[in-house]
Amino acid sequence: MIDPKVETAIEAALKAFSKYSSFDATPFTSVFGEVFESEEDFLSKVEMLDEVFDDYSQLEALREVFFDLLMINFFSADVKKLEEDYLDTPEWEDIEEQTLDRGTELLNLLLYLNECEDEDIEPGLDDYLKEFLLVDEDEFQDEYRIYEPVIAHQILMESPVAEISKVAAKLPEDSELKELFYPLMCFFQNTDPSADVKNSIADNAIDKEFDMAVLEVLISFR
C-alpha cells in the first residue's frame, strides 16, 4: 500500500530534483511507486529501495530522504495490515535496531505534519520544537542537542532566505541538521510558498536539487 500523500511527495521530490540537476529523475516515480506498494515486509522494501539508489548513483542525495518516506508510509499505510500492537513487538524493535543509522530528521518533521493535519492546526516552528519534540523537557535533551542550531536561530523566521542560507553554510559538518537546516527553516518561514518565493529559495539554496526536493516533500505533506 502507498499513502496518497507519500505518493504525491515522491513525485514532487523527483520533479524538483530533476528541475535543478542535470539528471531527469521523473521516470523513477513509477519505480519507487512499485517499491512502496510492494507486499514485501519492511526490511525487504528497504533492500529494494537501496537497490534503486545503488543502480542510479545520480539519485544518491535522495537515498535517506526516501528512506524517511518509506518509514512514514509504513506508519500510515503498511501498519494497517498488521496486528494492532505491531509497533510494540520484538519484531519491530529488531527492525528499529537494524535501521538505527538510516534516515534523517525529516521523519520527525513528517510525523509532525501528519499530526498537524489530524488536529487541524497550522504547522509552526515554535510548536514543532516545544510541543512535538519537547525540547524544553529534561528527558528530551537529545532532541535539544540535535535542534540547537534551529533553536538558536529562530529569529531567521523574520529574515530573508539569503540569511538562512548564510547560517546553513556555516553549520559544523558534524551537525545532524547540516543538510536539512536550509529547507526546514525555509519551509517553516512560509509553509505555502508562491512560485516567486520558491524561486528565491532556489536561488539561495546551498544544494539546489536536494534542498528543493526536500522543500517539495514538506509542502506536499502540508
Q: Are residues 88 and 117 in the same domain?
A: no
Domain boundary among 103, 131, 148: 103
How far apart are the C-alpha atoms of 168 and 181, rounded to whole Å? 6
Q: Are residues 62 and 119 in the same domain?
A: no
Q: Are residues 66 and 85 in the same domain?
A: yes
Burial 164-200 (b: 16+ CB within 10 A, else e): bbebbeebeeeebbebbbbbbbbbbbbbebeeeebeb
Q: Are residues 146 and 176 in the same domain?
A: yes
Q: How many domains does the chain have?
A: 2
pTM: 0.94
Domain range for 189 is: 104-222
Which segments in the chain show pLDDT lower than 50? Answer: none
Domain boundary among 103, 127, 156: 103
Q: Are residues 18 and 109 in the same domain?
A: no
Q: Are residues 20 and 119 in the same domain?
A: no
Residue 21 is given by DSSP the state: S
> Can you give the pLDDT at residue 139?
81
